[in-house]
Amino acid sequence: MPRHDVIRFVNGLSEKLASRSRHVCLFVGAGASRAGGLPDVTGLAKHISTTLPKGQKASFEQLSKNRNLEQVLSRVRRIAALLEGTDDQVDGLTSKEAQELDLAICRLIIDQLQVDKANLDPMLHLAAWAARSDYHQALEIFTVNYDLLIETGLESLGVGYFDGFVGTMRARFRSDLIETSGSDERDPLPASFVRLWKLHGSVHWTWDTDNQHEVVRLGAATPDGLPAAIYPSDAKYDESRRVPFVVLQDRLRRALHCPESLIMIAGYSFGDQHLNEVLFEAARRRPRSEFVGFCFDKIPDEVAGLALTAPNFQVVASEEAILGGLRYDWDAPEEAPDDTWANGAFQLGDFAQLARFLARSSPSHEELEARLGDLLAAAAKSNA
């Protein structure tokens, strides 16, 4: 039976990454947070369910029966807005109780996503790659994660980045800069600045206390008493409160449709149907762009269906890959770097290993390498 060649795939990916004229995007899911030791959405929901006080716990579990964590937050916020100024109840919650539950959930999420609890090695490797990438068009990183791991990695290595906000302590969202950012020749920002787009919000985003229709980015995690602006995925009650998320979703669509792009999808389980539709549509409509999905375990059926019919969408997993529309197991190489092949399995589906691979795929820079080495050594010492 035919098999896919690990070394051939990896070398091909390295060549694509080396092309400075490429528009390169990285789409990052919860696997990146797990690689740093932080929980994903499922883990957060379990922690919330076991930590909330009795009354709020019952409400949260009732709301969670047919909803994920983001949908629970969406429902809670909708109830708070709908019942404001009344004593009525929906799902057993008044407006005040819904607001209190929102704050309690956000606080537990923030507590669980503290950067000081994380292993920063994967993000430091990612930042090292970003710092050396030197593409003609800005590198764009899209993430659905709420934590500050990527920002911490970039700032630790002094990598300039733009996240859609302007300011430091209470930064304002600038949709006009996002609309002309990345691959647009009118872009007012240098290509050396990484574009970091947080599609589902962040633990340091909140609604402005003076203007509840505006999201601001704080200089640190949202403090007690303020809800974090985490994406309310199905909330329609107030379109103005959805502005950052709508703009960023549109940025994702436009980035994916940029001609001859290279889009890497890592740490993402393909569990968000809305985002899947955006990714899959772009793969079908842009056959000259290349999509590479890195799966930690098995290849999801829906992803396999696309990859078997769209040769420009490649997907790789620990035991098999679909490359050029062909699904085969890997042929174990006689020799390969341990971030590529180890213990009889392909390793790049693990975000930590992919970040290592990316870090060594770009030309080294002496000062940057020294800084990275110092940070990794310090992290290893603190974890010892």
> Is 353 found in the same domain as 219?
yes
316 & 252 share domain? yes
User: How long a stretch of residues is the chain?
Assistant: 384
Does the pLDDT at position 378 exceed 90?
no
pLDDT tops 60 at residue 137: yes
Does one domain contain both 271 and 152?
Answer: yes
* Residues 145, 251 within the same domain: yes
Q: Inform me whether the pLDDT recorded for 369 exceeds 70.
A: no
Where does the pLDDT of residue 244 fall: very low under 50, low under 70, confident under 90, or very high at 90 and above? confident
* The domain boundary residue, chosen from 112, 140, 157: 112
Which of residues 112, 144, 171 is at a domain's end?
112
Q: Indicate whether 104 and 240 sit together in one domain.
A: no
Instruction: Using a pLDDT cut of 70, give the percent of the chain over it.
Output: 90
pLDDT at 240: 47
Give the pLDDT of residue 364.
65
Alpha-carbon span 136 to 109, nearest angstrom: 37
Segment 233-250 shows an average pLDDT of 67
Residues 159 and 233 in one domain: yes
> Residue 212: is its pLDDT beyond 90?
no
Q: What is the CATH number of the domain that holds 306?
A: 3.40.50.1220
- Domain extent, residue 349, equals 4-38+116-383
Domain co-membership, 107 together with 244: no
- Confidence category of residue 348, pLDDT binned at 50, 70, 90: very high
Residues 70 and 200 placed together within one structural domain of the fold: no
Q: Is residue 159 domain-shared with residue 173, that is, in the same domain? A: yes
pLDDT range class, residue 237, cuts 50, 70, 90: very low
The Cα-based distances of 351 to 36, 194, 308, 381 in angstroms read 9, 19, 24, 22
Whether the predicted pLDDT of 351 surpasses 70: yes
Residue where a domain terminates, one of 60, 92, 112: 112
Mind listing the pLDDT tens digit for each residue in 44-87? 999 999 999 999 999 999 999 988 888 898 899 889 988 999 99
Q: Is the pLDDT of residue 334 over 60?
A: yes
328 band by pLDDT with thresholds 50, 70 and 90: very high
* Pairwise CA distance, residues 11 & 55, whole Å: 56
